[in-house]
């Protein structure tokens, strides 16, 4: 149980150490997501109800991160049934889809993972030389209670 509590303390300290970096990451992430929302709105706003408004476009972008929106859906929404098939006309769709997955999924989510791992490594380096009870929240609480009530 003591080992579990030490690990839990490391996790909470990791979150505390990473908060400023994660807040900066969230600003960059939301900005990049807003750019792709605007592109999706401009490309598919009239032909897909998932992109009709900016708020729906934002929700659709979050669904794209999890893989709920397929490339074929975007291609069929971008194309027209009154024109002949032209593969060059689909270049904006491919740029949008694969650009989104490269920038948001591959790049930014790996940056988030790197922030968390770096924060964990710094917390681990601080706490690896502690004895078991030196980094135990409950032993600190018991010490405070003992000092308060003189026992």
Give me the CATH number covering residue 89: 1.10.287
CB 40 within 8 A of CB 51: yes
Give tens-digit pLDDT for 71-125: 888 888 886 555 566 777 788 999 999 999 999 999 999 999 999 999 999 988 8
Q: What pLDDT sits at residue 85?
A: 65
- Within 8 A by CB and 6+ apart from 53, the residues are 41
Q: Provide the phi-psi class of 150: left if phi over 0, else alpha when psi is between -120 and 50, else beta.
A: left
Tell me the two tokens of residue 13: 């300290």
Q: How many independent structural domains does the chain possess? A: 1
The answer to whether residue 16 sits within a structural domain is no
Residue 17 lies in a domain: no
Q: What is the pLDDT of residues 33-67, one digit of tens each?
A: 999 999 999 999 888 889 999 999 999 999 999 99
Q: What percentage of the chain has pLDDT greater than the value 90?
A: 50
CB 26 within 8 A of CB 108: no
- In terms of residue numbers, what domain contains 81? 2-11+22-149
What is the distance between the alpha carbons of residues 48 and 105, in angstroms, rounded to a whole number? 23
Give the span between the Cα atoms of 79 and 75, in whole angstroms.
6
2 band by pLDDT with thresholds 50, 70 and 90: very low
- How far, in Å, CA of 124 to CA of 121, rounded? 5
CB 144 within 8 A of CB 39: no
Assess whether pLDDT exceeds 80 at residue 24. yes
Share of the chain above pLDDT 70, in %: 81
User: What confidence score (pLDDT) does residue 72 get?
Assistant: 87
Please tell me whether the overall predicted TM-score, pTM, comes out greater than 0.85 for this model. Answer: no
């Amino acid at each position: 149980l003591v080992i579990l509590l030490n690990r839990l303390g490391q996790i909470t300290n990791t979150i505390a150490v990473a908060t400023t970096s994660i807040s900066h990451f969230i600003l960059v992430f939301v900005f990049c997501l807003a750019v792709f929302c605007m592109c999706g709105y401009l490309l598919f706003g009239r032909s897909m109800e998932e992109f009709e408004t900016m708020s729906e476009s934002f929700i659709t972008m979050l669904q794209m991160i999890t893989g709920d929106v397929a490339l074929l859906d975007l291609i069929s929404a971008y194309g027209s049934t009154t024109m002949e098939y032209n593969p060059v006309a689909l270049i904006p769709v491919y740029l949008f889809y694969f650009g989104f997955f490269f920038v948001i999924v591959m790049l930014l989510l790996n940056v988030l993972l790197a922030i968390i791992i770096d924060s964990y490594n710094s917390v681990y380096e601080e706490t690896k030389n502690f004895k078991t009870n030196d980094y135990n929240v409950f032993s600190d609480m018991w010490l405070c209670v003992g000092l308060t009530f003189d026992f």
